[in-house]
Chains A and B, each alone.
Chain A
Amino acid sequence: MEPTTELPETLPPALVERLRRLDRSQPIVDPRTDRAVLAQATEFFHARPRRAAVRMRWALPLGTAAALLLVAVLMRPLLLDAPGADDIDGSGRVDILDVLALARDRAARGDAAGISDARIEELAYRIVALDSSRSLP
């Protein structure tokens, strides 16, 4: 027999009711004190969200600029040297076969290929140039 199940049956209802009232949580802090603490806390922390907002306002442009700078640095060799731009046949080097590939593409598709005669000649003269940095005719 468990004493806990036996207790309500043995105690008088009035006592049980009084014990239940005592068992309820009683406010240990006065509501005015509670409101004062809340007001001070609100005042104290009021500035924090604004500082965070200020940081966030700069964080987005700075992060974007840093990302763009990183991309530019990483892509610089590809953009400046661009070996793949003239490696038409994908052989890994640029030679007369790339010029032939360009010319064949233009001959097959015409203007739809988007390849001009000047582009073909420019690449041809570039591969025979003794000094690649010099401008070509």
Chain B
Amino acid sequence: VSRAARVIVAAFAALAVAMVVSLSAQPGAGRFATVDLYVASDMPVAAWQVELTETGGAMQIVGIERGDDATFRDPPFYDRVVLERAQTDRIVLASFSLSAADRLPRGRVRIARLHVRTTGTAQPDYEARLVAAGAADGSPIGARLTVETQPER
């Protein structure tokens, strides 16, 4: 093998390594996942407000949907600037319904779904806090909030 051929092979190898490094560093790289927020209450829920934080700070919210109950607004209220940010560590969601109590959800119900993209190697660490929940008559009620995440395909 001539010296020129060895130089060409070395150059291609260096180019391949550079391409791999470049692809891994592209901003488009990352993992997409859904974050579902569930509220469980014995009483019908007419309003809720949730604060979601991602302690790693590497979360980008790309979409927000309402939950399973169609009487609530789609999407819930949220700060629209959050979707314009490349990364955020916090978002506040809220919604209400004027439906009668017998039409409101009770038990465990999904109130919102977030589509997020995370970057980096660390696993995202979500923390959600139920700021407020109310019954159809406007009175505050006790409820439990849970978060479930699933990777998107």
Contacts and interface: CB of A to CB of B under 8 A. Distances in A.
Interface of A: 89, 91, 95-97, 99-101, 103-104, 107, 124-125, 127-131, 134, 137
Most buried by B among A91, A100, A129: A100
Where chain A touches its partner, the secondary structure class is helix
B58 to A, nearest CB: 17
A127 B138 contact: no
Given A96-B95, A107-B98, A124-B94, 17 more contacts: A95-B49, A96-B47, A96-B96, A97-B140, A103-B96, A104-B98, A125-B77, A125-B79, A127-B77, A127-B94, A128-B49, A128-B77, A129-B92, A130-B82, A130-B91, A130-B92, A134-B81
Contacts of B86: none
Given A128-B93, A137-B80, A97 B98 contact: no
B98 A91 contact: no
Nearest to A104: B138
Where chain B touches its partner, the secondary structure class is strand
16 contacts: A95-B49, A95-B131, A96-B49, A96-B77, A96-B95, A96-B131, A96-B134, A97-B49, A100-B138, A101-B138, A104-B138, A128-B93, A130-B79, A130-B90, A130-B92, A131-B79
Given A125-B77, A128-B77, A96 B98 contact: no
Contacts of B95: 96
Interface in B97-152: 98, 131-132, 134, 138, 140
B38 interface: no
A19 B127 CA distance: 114
Interface in B33-52: 46-49
